[in-house]
Amino acid sequence: MKTKIIAIAFLIVFAFSGCKAQDKLTSTFDTVTKETTEAYENVKTEVETKTDAVEDKINAINQAAEDIGEATDAVGDAIDSVQAINDTGTGTTEE
């Protein structure tokens, strides 16, 4: 409803004021449109930059988790090897 009232008000202004008011209004609208578009582009660029940074952090975390898994496997293998050596050494000493 407010939009209709504003539109009617603009039409009344155009009808009574001539082309100068229309030109000024068109210029103002163009300026607002340009500013809004620039603001949108700035926000879009910032969001894309932040998204890329978050994706980089996620990839780094996934790589770290994979490295920890490999290190855990290596520690498990080392423990198994030490136990095997101890079992072999214990077996021959007791005999």
Over the stretch 66-88, which tens digit does the pLDDT of each residue have?
999 999 999 999 999 999 998 88
Note down the domain range covering 26: 2-94
Q: Is the pTM of this model over 0.85?
A: no
pLDDT score at 29: 83
Give 95's pLDDT tier (boundaries 50, 70, 90): very low
pLDDT score at 91: 53
Tally of structural domains, the chain:
1
* C-alpha of 94 from chain center: 64
Torsion, Cα of 45, 47, 48, 52 (10° steps):
140
Helix H or strand E encompassing 59: helix 19-94
Over the stretch 13-33, which tens digit does the pLDDT of each residue have?
666 666 666 677 788 888 989
- The neighbour count for residue 85, using CB atoms within 10 Å, is 10
